[in-house]
Structure 1
């Protein structure tokens, strides 16, 4: 199935709307409601977990082995650690990000009595007072404080507003969508990935594409703190592709254009066969791509596997500059990701054995090449992704069928 046409205007509009909704980990109810409203508008069936993870569903020609496409809705943020005597707030980060990027950020504090605006500042913020000390002050969350835009000159005045320890602080994204396709904002990780998923569903439904197998489009709400897709997949899901950001930085091969396919992150290599298939689909459909490895990175894929899901996982990314800071991406990468995802969800199943969670046979189990390169047959990579079944003795086959019939 060739790649589907992606509505780039819809993709960008969806991203802008998602960025408008604060959603630091632990404060995601509003964005979950927004995504469910959009799924209803598209006509996609969905389920919502107790805490707000969304499992949308588009049926395929068969139910197994089901596929999942995953991204996360939660973002970085902060939390009130201490109400200080000077009427300002000490913070701890939500997710792993530097206080260097927090300095100067405009924020919203969500208290029991309502929302308040404020600014995160270094402890020594005024050059007129501290002179060169503003440049030599240490960097870290203990060296910043939140100034509330209200009459708060003491801890008592802060508490009268209803602000207290544990309150969530959302960081303004301050997005800019440039005419040349660049998008600059905080929290593109991973609202851009969520926007890509919506663009994929929109393309599938508007162009009446036929799904090969049942496919789940999963939105998680706690990826930034390591939980992610740990408890939202169904047993039918055999392969999962995570859509997230890839870091464009010195020493990395990621790019702000095309798809960056992650070969490994800090949790180890991604699935050999699934990753190889994605590379082949890019080549077959003329989708620009590059490969990369991320040393200090984990995603929804890692949380699913470490939680015990026996699934094949892969990670496809949009190149992002200054990840977990003030980020920049390009619409070309988002469109490329959406195109690749449409080719994948409409492609044939390569490893049909994956429809069964456990098997007493190696029949249909895939092979990885072990011979030297010049001995290998030259075949298209998509064909190579289809495993060669191992021969099975007739007696073993009969025994397997008898057991299967008996169990049924």
Structure 2
């Protein structure tokens, strides 16, 4: 095994392409095509599930037991809940995010007839009109409305425009890359994870690395609403590494630098042996890392296990400040994570016994203690 260099220019370019492609959960076809086109350019074969989850294949020397690495390409968003008499729209969130982060957001409304630019505003948005009432009004989705950039004064105008309950709203990402290596944007969760996975694939293909076992990069389309990798796994996958955001915040051990390894989240502990393999690789290849536990967090791993997949799972993350809000990450974490993925792909399967779904005790591991 060797550490492969990550092409940071490629990583930046593909991340921006992903960020500029709207993909709230349930409205992901465009980003699916984007990732498929990139896999085709890299020469990586893939299949699509009925709804659009992508299952790619990097062939290895052996086909079993094989592994998967998963990132999700769906994001948070909103949906029209009601049409108002003042020509504006009530909204509900797509995915779990607080309404205070939606206030003032520029966005795009997708109707059956086309698309329209818009802004999400508090019900009381004018300081010149409402004065101190602006600060006193509660925060939350019940206190927001969508203002569409069309000549719309009432319900009749909304209907003429073709606006309906259930129309999707995609929030602008507004990415900014600073000279200090920070990236600010909405939806870095998990567009940055998808970009890192593609950058690791690019490095493996560029260096013509021979992998010991088949590796399946997966790009899921419904993680933000809970189902994630529940239906995207090949049945012979024995271990799955999930790539997602880490929660950099007070009380957490995550960092915007290096790799943050999640030991457990709200769905329970991750696989002991796969998690410690990842820790070992970070130690061996001098990759800065830290461990953390996330109390209000779930990922593609939870969805896969809850769907009945008997697969070892682990979660590696890039630290995100203000997750599910206006997020910030640092290139150091993305590059470190990309290097880790290339090393993990080059390693042997955890246990030869894992090629069987059910088998004898022979070869089953033992935890220390």
Are the equivalent residues in 1 in contact too, given 2:104–2:121 (CA < 8 A)? yes
Residue of structure 1 in register with 2:47 after alignment: 47
Local SS of the residue matching 2:353:
helix
| In 2: Cα distance, 1:235 partner to 1:42 partner | 25
| Distance in 1 of aligned mates of 2:3 and 2:279 | 14
Equivalent residue, structure 2, for 1:11: 11
Listed as ranges, the matches of 1:27-42 within 5 Å are: 27-42=27-42
Structural mapping, 1:327-406, within 5 Å: 327-359=327-359, 361-370=360-369
Give the match for residue 391 of structure 1: none
Q: Does 1:228 align with 2:224?
A: no
Q: CA deviation at 1:350?
A: 2.7
The structure that has the greater radius of gyration is 1
> Which residue of structure 2 aligns with residue 24 of structure 1?
24
Counterparts of 2:280 and 2:221 in 1: how far apart (Å)? 31
* Aligned pairs, number: 369
Q: Give the whole-Å Cα distance in 1 for the aligned partners of 2:340 and 2:244.
A: 14
* Partner residue, 1:239: 239
Higher relative contact order (CA 8 A, sep 6+): 2
2:133 corresponds in structure 1 to 133
The alignment yields a C-alpha RMSD, in angstroms, of 0.5
Contact 2:57/2:216, CA 8 A, preserved across alignment: yes
Residue segments in structure 1 that go unaligned for 5+ positions in a row: 371-408
Shift of 1:351: 1.1
Equivalent residue number for residue 107 of structure 2: 107
Does residue 1:174 correspond to 2:174, yes or no? Answer: yes
Partner of 1:399: none
Normalising by structure 2, report the TM-score: 0.99
The DSSP-based 3-state class of the residue aligned with 2:231 is coil
1:44-193 → structure 2 map (5 Å cutoff):
44-193=44-193
In 2: Cα distance, 1:208 partner to 1:32 partner: 26
CA offsets 1:258-286 (integer angstroms, 9 cap, x no match): 00000000000000000000000000001
CA distance in 1, matches of 2:210, 2:358: 28
Distance apart, 1:19 and its partner CA: 0.4
TM-score normalised by the chain length of structure 1 = 0.90
Deviation beyond 2 Å, 4+ runs, structure 1: none
